[in-house]
Amino acid sequence: MKLTRRVAAIDGDRCVKCNLCVRACPTSALRPPRVLYSRCTGCGLCTYTCPRGAIKMATRLSLAAYVFIVAVALAGVALAGLAVLTPYFYPSNHPTINFTTNITIPTFIPANVTMPTGEEAAGAGSGFG
């Protein structure tokens, strides 16, 4: 993607409106002392036909450059808006979490179950109990 392009630029003080450049332009981009930048391809034929040297080639921003600039500006505005609005999405009265306290987790023991004790719990012949 090219961000700049070359186009014709007419010096209105030097132009005598002889229209030799208009006849030489293959895209009909010249209307002395104006240039239709959307039509100009930057071929430079007009610069050679002007007897007064009123036409020079100039570098201009392309349409892609303008689109890029607008996209960057919109992204910047969106990020700034997000930074400003973010505190409103999170309430300030939320409960604080204290990570230094011990948390007790309730255990579930099914009803009608007996816990094995002694040798039964250690396993027969294991030496425990």
Q: Write the pLDDT tens digit of every residue in 94-109.
A: 677 777 777 777 777 7
The mean predicted confidence, pLDDT, of the chain is 83
Domains in the chain, ordered, with CATH? 4-61 (3.30.70.20)
What does the alpha-carbon distance between residue 86 and residue 47 come to, in Å, rounded to a whole number? 56
Q: pTM higher than 0.95, yes or no?
A: no
Q: Which tens digits make up the pLDDT trace of 25-37?
A: 999 999 888 899 8
Q: Which tens digits make up the pLDDT trace of 46-89?
A: 999 999 999 999 988 888 888 999 999 999 998 888 877 776 66
Backbone angle region of 28, left / alpha / beta, with phi > 0 → left and psi within -120 to 50 → alpha:
left
Q: Is the pLDDT of residue 43 over 80?
A: yes
Give the dihedral sign, CA 10/14/18/21: negative
Residue 1's pLDDT is 66
